[in-house]
Structure 1
Amino acid sequence: MLLGAWVVVVTALVLIVPGALVGRRMMLPWPVALAAGPPITFGLVSILTVLYSAVGFQWNAISALVGLVLAMFAAWAYAALLRTRWGRRVAPAPEGPGSDETGSDDPPAGITAMLRVAAGVAVGGAIIAITCIRPIATTAFAGLNNVSQVWDSLWHASSLRWIHETGIGSGLRMGELMNYDTHGFNYYPNTWHALGALLFPITGANPVELYNTYSPAVLAITVPLGVASMSYWFARHRFDVNSSATIAAAGAAISALFPSLPYVEVELTSVPNAVGVSLAPVAAILTMGVIRDRRRVGPAALAVTGVTATHPSGLIVVGVIVALWWLCEALWHPVSTRLRDLLTLVSTGALTLILVAPVIYGTLKVSDTNELPFFDFRVETVGVAQGLSQAAFNGTVPLADYYPLWGLIAFTALGLIVLAWMRCWAGLLAWLAFVLVTANAVVELSVLSYPLGSIGGYFYNSPHRLTFVVALLSASAAGLAVGSAAVWLSRWVSGKLAARSSESDAPRRFSPAVVATAALALLLVLIAGAGVVKYPQHAQLASKERGGKYIGPDDLDAYHWLADRPDAWNSVILNNLDQGTGWIYPVTGLTPLFPFYRANDFSQRQRDLYWGVSTIGADPKIDQIVRDMRVHYVIDSPPSYWPFQNGAPGPGHQGDPFLALRRNGAPGLTEVFRQGNVTIFRVNDSVLAPPP
């Protein structure tokens, strides 16, 4: 647990501080810069890793620090340009009581507001981190070295190690990891992994330990921060800054009670998607601010870039929120003129498109293998009404056993009522829009199916990924409900105390600020208590896929045994990618032929060797491939991940290419290790020796 706590602290600093410093240098006030710190940090990582890869620089802690210095110079130049006569004409400082601090006509957020929000984020983050890390450290096999059984976890852990070892952090070069032989092109939004790779020398964690702690550590920051930002924006429609900060703190803390937010995503290992989406409200609200202060175009574009480069699904959330805000609010209450406000937003979007050009290029190039609108996870037994109910109140898979969560439903419903009272129609419509998109991923919604499916396609039309978006908005609404109650209660108590003081002519002992702080403290204590009560359920959910179904203790022992063989380090291990034995790379650093459960652009010799493993020593063609690829060991660890990959090959059934090896052996292989279902074979010297 000490390692987990250390990773959480380091992650918070590395994630927030660089972006906050650059944002502040780009003329954002400190409260805004700190909130925008994480998406701006990811934006910097996205730009720097692509540039470094293009010029041949390695991505590591030193080069990242150099990149931060360069970013600070660029931010200084940006601010200097805006202070010129031309800059003041294009992007003048807004007039108003808060123009020097906030860049708008709102009063500035002071230290009181910042501390309230920080307290809420800290409570929510602590609940999330403890609930996700503690059960792995204390109950899972191998502790923090435990291997998740979910498909994507292998990719994430391998990426962390690969970036650390090679210094290649560009998302445009991930094909070099995915396919050892061909290095065929593959794009993957890689900023989350690239930032995490910087933590190796600081934390001393190995790749599996870092993956198991860094994943929840980032969500422990981004989920409360994203909900706090959205709750604050909701509250500012009617409340003052300090009251809005109280509501934001309530939203940040209560986010840890929504199982759809951190715990399902940690269980199913879709963390980059969750990080990008959870930061989308921060980037969206910063983008809304550009029409009041055009100096924010630069940092807003950088924040949206960070969200997009972490996962493109985040850009969809930003786009929906900003578009609904424009249609419902900004269009009817322009700051300057409608055309000028629109052009300011368009300029922000144009700058964002330039900064995310690598993401666009990579996504388009792999689009043939990622036909997003056509993923289908629908269940035929679910009707439209049930699908809408599950989508609205977090009842989709894998939460069906926990549904309905009446307490969260009640707070969400109250928050939606408060939103309607405040006439925050954009917030209500955003919630409704993603409820419909999520419901369409559960059950077909007639003529709306294709347009909703096109939006949902960026989330693979996966109900749990889309439920995450709905839960993000629901938690913000719930925070609005309980935070508003705390604000109104503190005002009522303050009024009673003031009346009693005036009647007795006694000096006033408690100011309204003290009463409000006490009310927030009590609320946070209650939420923390709820986190303790829900800990067993949420901890079980977060650590659910940790039992060793595919990769268990026997596999780890086999990997470490193989790592002790000197000739394994200068060779390649032939493995069955369907079995997930690519875990040998993040666990030990050895090189498997197939690092992941799938690969792009298989070479012919990869196919021949994969399907001809049982003929090693009997087929000269296969033996030559073994020598050419320097294969010294073969590892077999059934079962395979998907049912169609097990058993004998047949019509419409892929089958297991290692089945014949398992049953009959191979003339050119000698069994050297067996434990449980795991078997390791060594290639005979007669095969490795070149033919006379």
Structure 2
Amino acid sequence: MSWWQLVPALLLTAAIVFLPGYLILRCWAVTGLVAVGAAAPVSISLVAVTAVVGPFLGLRWNVLHVVVPAVAIAAIGLVLRRATPKALGIHGRIRRSPRSRWTLLAHLGALLIPAALLTRGLTRMIGGPENISQTWDNVFHLNAIRYIIDSGSASSLTVGGMYSGGAKVSAYPAAWHDLVSLVVQVSGVSIPAAVNAVTLVIGALVWPISAIFLTTRVTGTRPVPVLFAGALSAAFGAFPYIILDFGVLYPYFMSLALLPAALALISMVTGVGDRSGTPRWLATLLFIAVTPGIALAHPSTFLTLLLFALPIFVVAVVRYRRILAGRAGQSRYWLLVMLLAAYLGAGIALWLRVRPSSENSGWQPIQRVPQAIGQVLSGGVMQQGASWVVLLFSLVAVGLVMRRQFSQWVLGVYLIAAVLFIVVSAMRKPGLRNFITGVWYNDSYRLASLLPTITVVVCTISATWLFFRTRDALVERRPRLASMRFTRESTPAAAAVAFVVAAIIGVAGQFSSVNYAVGSGAGNYRASDNAPLLSSAEEALLTRVDEHVPESATIIGDPWTGTAFSYAISGRRTLTPHVGDDKMPPDVLMLMNNLNAIGEDPRICELIEKYDSYYVLDFNGRRYMNWPTVYPGMETVETNPHLEVVDREGDAATLYRITTCDGQSS
């Protein structure tokens, strides 16, 4: 399969991600960049919420779960537009002027630059449209998608039950898995191809649009900052690339792509960000609508949102203090202060309770504080090397802060993100470090990938200021105009020049941390005979397993050799749908440890019959991460007289059938 053959799936993915939300927003009289920026978060929230509701209504998961509610909610908006147009901010038909036309072209250019650069980088890293990430977490992610399709339930309340085949209900945030399962159903492509289609749409479209949306809450929607925000969204190795290499953390990746849009909506609700004509109550409704998608994609990003919102709320309260006057005004001000204090208290309670266990948060510091500070400023985190474009604009931002020409709430969010990364990667005080960054497993990679969500805004402000300062100096030759701020109006000529400059910035941003991140990640996606988890031969055999193994059967295999991918690729379950021994039932562990005792211990055949496990996969390739866990019963499969060969791919992969026990699957 070529990337061109994946285009229909990509178009269908983009339709699922953007169209439901955009339809709803336009029918509710939301327009412009607000509608475009909030479309994907609203769609993904709709996917995640309807997936949870569906099982309670006895509905099997499919795309109608999203389409029908989207049309219904849009219809409500249309009714409100007719009944209460003023409440929705409708004040007559707006005619498109020549100015708005070239502005629209500039905005399209702002998306084209990062879309092209990020698509190039992501396809280079992934390698092929059906390549899989050869990493720990991906075994669960791919199998969970298959489980959703087979069970018909995509609810985050039940997806974790995959381990027990649905026998035990277990919750797991599944918004990303819900989305991919819809792509599989609608497009008909394989699960790996659907995963890569979703990755491209989120990485090359959702992320830059979200970054542009947040940036314009500070700079306005003029073409120059929009163009720079788009170009700079493609200049970071930390996001989207690093989190698609490490883990692989697909749900976290999607939640981070949505985070800037959610922050943009908070700034609109509080009045510190440009609302672009959207009424505050409607912005509040939009924010409420997008939060479920983030929370059901990855709860830690929801907590990040609460933390990042704090500077926005503080700035809003301070501004209200200046606006309100008199006794009534003082009462409202202190009410806001009390609400902020209550918010802090609730946030701390969540911070302490909604976090992984200390046993699962064992990542240690990796560097010293000066190194961490340098990496924050340069954008070259986790040994990626400095991004000189990011470093330049970060240093300009420092100067703007010193001159008090910088957004206070943006600075606050940036400092929080920076401190989190510095603490997790460099602090040597375990107790304090765990309190601050334990929400993210004390994992430097997760917090490194968080930085670009706000750094892109910081760099855009600097780039825009530099652009207009340089333009004024060159064109007008008057020093007194050189200090004019970035808020100065743009002209078509300035926008055209800005497009060229933005393209140069975007391309220049590829020759540093981005190139390193793409090259580093490529190793985890390459299908080869020496792949980290699933070799080419092993994958070839898995594509034929469904020809030999009944649909109801369960396969025995050592998950550390890649057999756990059987469910995702062949549709045939294994006793071990994920790597790791912590969730393996004692009966399964006993069976795998004593498979060589089939003819001697009657309990083995009893377990084989219990689980309908008359087939064995034996992969001779690498054990993932050279994991030391060994199952003695699996070590002698080749010489076990009670097994016969059913299918084989060279010397690397073999499918056996157990011939001794009664009641064999046929």
TM bin (shorter chain)? 0.7 to 0.9
d(CA) in 2 for partners of 1:404, 1:23: 40
Match of 2:214 among 230, 240, 257: 230
Match of 1:543 in 2: 522
Match of 1:482 among 445, 452, 463: 463
d(CA) in 2 for partners of 1:10, 1:473: 30
d(CA) in 2 for partners of 1:348, 1:471: 27
d(CA) in 2 for partners of 1:167, 1:392: 47
Q: What SS is found at the alignment partner of 2:577?
A: coil
- Find out whether 1:186 has 2:170 as its counterpart: yes
d(CA) in 1 for partners of 2:399, 2:48: 39
d(CA) in 2 for partners of 1:304, 1:344: 22
Match of 1:580 in 2: 562
Q: 1:328 to 1:146 in 2, by over 3 A?
A: same
Q: 1:617 to 1:459 in 2, by over 3 A?
A: same
- Counterpart residue type for residue 653 of structure 2: V
Match of 1:106 in 2: none
Match of 1:154 in 2: 139
Match of 2:424 in 1: 441
- Find out whether 1:220 has 2:195 as its counterpart: no
d(CA) in 1 for partners of 2:78, 2:340: 19
Q: What SS is found at the alignment partner of 2:319?
A: coil
- Find out whether 1:315 has 2:297 as its counterpart: no
Match of 2:107 in 1: 117
d(CA) in 1 for partners of 2:606, 2:541: 27
- Counterpart residue type for residue 192 of structure 1: W
User: Structure 2, unaligned stretches of length 5 or more?
Assistant: 272-279, 344-349, 479-488
Q: 1:249 to 1:450 in 2, by over 3 A?
A: farther
Match of 1:172 among 137, 140, 157: 157
Match of 1:61 in 2: 63
Q: 1:678 to 1:47 in 2, by over 3 A?
A: same
Superposed structure 1 runs of 4+ greater than 6 Å apart: 77-81, 98-102, 341-351
- Contact between 1:124 and 1:253, CA under 8 Å: does it hold in 2? yes
- Contact between 1:373 and 1:458, CA under 8 Å: does it hold in 2? no
- Find out whether 1:255 has 2:245 as its counterpart: no
- Contact between 2:134 and 2:524, CA under 8 Å: does it hold in 1? yes
Query: Offset at 1:302?
Result: 0.7
Match of 1:210 in 2: 194
d(CA) in 2 for partners of 1:349, 1:687: 66
d(CA) in 1 for partners of 2:359, 2:80: 39
Mapping 1:544-623, distance limit 5 Å: 544-547=523-526, 548-565=531-548, 567-598=549-580, 602-623=584-605
Match of 1:466 in 2: 447
d(CA) in 2 for partners of 1:372, 1:422: 42
Q: What SS is found at the alignment partner of 2:296?
A: helix
- Contact between 1:636 and 1:658, CA under 8 Å: does it hold in 2? no
d(CA) in 2 for partners of 1:338, 1:317: 31
- Counterpart residue type for residue 299 of structure 2: P
Match of 1:453 among 425, 434, 448: 434
Aligned residue-pair number = 619
- Find out whether 1:513 has 2:491 as its counterpart: yes
CA distances 1:651-691 after superposition (whole Å, capped 9, x unpaired): xxx444455425x743432344363443332101x31348x
d(CA) in 2 for partners of 1:348, 1:74: 33
Q: 1:339 to 1:127 in 2, by over 3 A?
A: farther
Match of 1:375 in 2: 361
- Contact between 1:179 and 1:599, CA under 8 Å: does it hold in 2? no
- Find out whether 1:666 has 2:651 as its counterpart: no
Match of 1:687 in 2: 661
Match of 1:408 in 2: 390
User: Structure 1, unaligned stretches of length 5 or more?
Assistant: 103-108, 138-142, 352-359, 498-510, 647-653
d(CA) in 2 for partners of 1:210, 1:598: 25
d(CA) in 1 for partners of 2:421, 2:522: 25
- Counterpart residue type for residue 521 of structure 1: F
- Find out whether 1:305 has 2:292 as its counterpart: yes
d(CA) in 1 for partners of 2:392, 2:174: 38
d(CA) in 2 for partners of 1:619, 1:77: 71
The CA RMSD measured in Å over matched residues stands at 3.7
After superposing the two structures, state which structure 1 stretch, 215-224 or 157-166, moved more. Answer: 157-166
- Counterpart residue type for residue 265 of structure 1: I
% identity of equivalent residues: 17
Query: Offset at 1:68?
Result: 1.6
Query: Offset at 1:419?
Result: 4.9
Query: Offset at 1:60?
Result: 1.0
**TM-score of the two chains, using structure 2 as the length reference:** 0.83
CA distances 1:71-111 after superposition (whole Å, capped 9, x unpaired): 32455577789x49xxx9xxx778xxx98899xxxxxx955
Match of 2:117 in 1: 127
Q: 1:208 to 1:344 in 2, by over 3 A?
A: farther
Mapping 1:299-448, distance limit 5 Å: 299-333=286-320, 370-371=356-357, 375-379=361-365, 382-397=367-382, 400=383, 402-419=384-401, 421-446=404-429
Q: What SS is found at the alignment partner of 2:234?
A: helix
- Counterpart residue type for residue 544 of structure 1: G
d(CA) in 1 for partners of 2:436, 2:111: 30
Query: Offset at 1:191?
Result: 1.3
**TM-score of the two chains, using structure 1 as the length reference:** 0.80
- Counterpart residue type for residue 675 of structure 1: G
